[in-house]
Amino acid sequence: MCLRKLFQKNNNAAIRFHDAGRGLAVYRYGSESGDLPLLPGLRIEVASDQMIAFVQNGELVDTWDEGSYVLGATMFPGLAERGAFTRADRPVPAELYFLNLTRITDRKWATRTPVLRNENGKLYAIRAFGKMAYRIQDGIGFILEAFLNRKLQTSFELNDYLATLTAGAFAAVAGEQNLPVTEIINHYASLSDLVLMKANQAAAPLGVEITGVLIEGASLPD
């Protein structure tokens, strides 16, 4: 079907993103086969726990939060200034991203290398793992810093980066505590709170809040 016919067929259609429990913090519209082409005149529906961002040539152009918007020059002046709507039957030359602002849970983290700690002249190598939860707190800040500057452009990349931050926070906490190494397994709850605080210090500049950290296990070599 040619683009002109698609435009005529879908002129009154609406595009939207439904996570369906997948835990996606970022979704690039057009990634799935059923997604409509971004033709002028399409309606974009943004849910209460979402925001959208148009990116063109690596730059943030337009953003909107909850609402219903018609893809055109009136509602998207940034795209209009860049000539995005010169043809009604031509897809908008930009990338549309949906941000999921709800809490993303049950993301795994683990130390990739052991945390070394010297105690009473003996060197211990500590490994730990667990789960974490987070949410995008500042959508525009996230797009500018995490997405465009640090190139964390998929949910997988974001999850992996935050898991690394959390593991690093555990390493810092484990190194700072006066708690005997052999007692770590008896203090998961209090250590988890400390790891959460330290991980959030690193995540805040990304526009992300880590809302929970759970240490599920720690081990020492025999």
CA separation for the pair 73, 85 (Å, rounded)? 7
| Residue 164: both structure tokens together | 């690394």
Q: How many CB atoms lie within 10 A of CB 76?
A: 25
| Residue 81: both structure tokens together | 């200034």
For the cut 60, the answer to whether the pLDDT of residue 215 exceeds it is yes
Counting Cα atoms < 13 Å in the Cβ hemisphere of 218 gives: 22
- pTM (whole model) above 0.85: yes
Architecture of domain 104-219: 2-Layer Sandwich (3.30)
Once rounded to an integer, what is the mean pLDDT over residues 172-181? 88
**What residue spans in the chain does CATH classification 3.30.479.30 cover?**
104-219
CA separation for the pair 113, 116 (Å, rounded)? 9
For the cut 90, the answer to whether the pLDDT of residue 221 exceeds it is no
Query: What per-residue confidence (pLDDT) applies to 222?
Result: 59
Evaluate whether 51 touches 26 at the Cβ level (below 8 Å): no
| Residue 161: both structure tokens together | 């980066």
For the cut 50, the answer to whether the pLDDT of residue 87 exceeds it is yes
Tell me whether residue 172 is exposed, middle or buried, using C-beta atoms within 10 angstroms of its C-beta: 0 to 12, 13 to 18, 19 or more.
middle
The pLDDT-based confidence of 105 (bands split at 50, 70, 90) is: very high
